[in-house]
């Protein structure tokens, strides 16, 4: 029975690690995307004729 505990924790750690990293990337991506959109909107408001 003890060996199943190790097996469980091993796979759990890997799964948790990947999910955590994906969540980290996801939040950073969402935040960067939002800030970029906000900035681009402001830039177009100030100078609609700018390229």
Partner 1 sequence: MTRRFPLVYGTLLAVSALGIALALAQIFLVAPEERVMGAVQKIFYIHVPLAAVTFLAVFVLLVGALGYLTTGRPVWDRLAVAACEVGWVFCTLVLITGPIWAKPAWGVWWTWEAKITTTLVLWLLLAGIVVARGYATTPEQAARVGAVLGVVAALDVPIVYKAVDWWRGQHPIVFGPGRGDPLAPGMGRALLLSMLAVTVLFSALVVLRMRLAALEEALAAAEDAAGRSW
Binding site for partner 1 (CB under 8 A): 2-4, 6-7, 9-11, 13-14, 17-18, 21-22, 25, 28-29, 32-33, 35-36, 39-40, 42-43, 46-47, 50
Burial 22-49 (b: 16+ CB within 10 A, else e): eeeeeeeeeeeeeeeeeeeeeeeeeeee
CB 33 within 8 A of CB 39: no
**Cβ 23 to partner 1, closest distance in Å?**
12
**Cβ 33 to partner 1, closest distance in Å?**
6
**Cβ 29 to partner 1, closest distance in Å?**
5
């Amino acid at each position: 029975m003890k060996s199943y505990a190790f097996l469980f924790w091993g796979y759990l750690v890997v799964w948790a690690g990947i999910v955590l990293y994906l969540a980290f990337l996801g939040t950073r991506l969402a935040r960067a995307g939002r800030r970029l959109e906000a900035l681009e909107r402001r830039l177009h408001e100030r100078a609609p004729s700018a390229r």
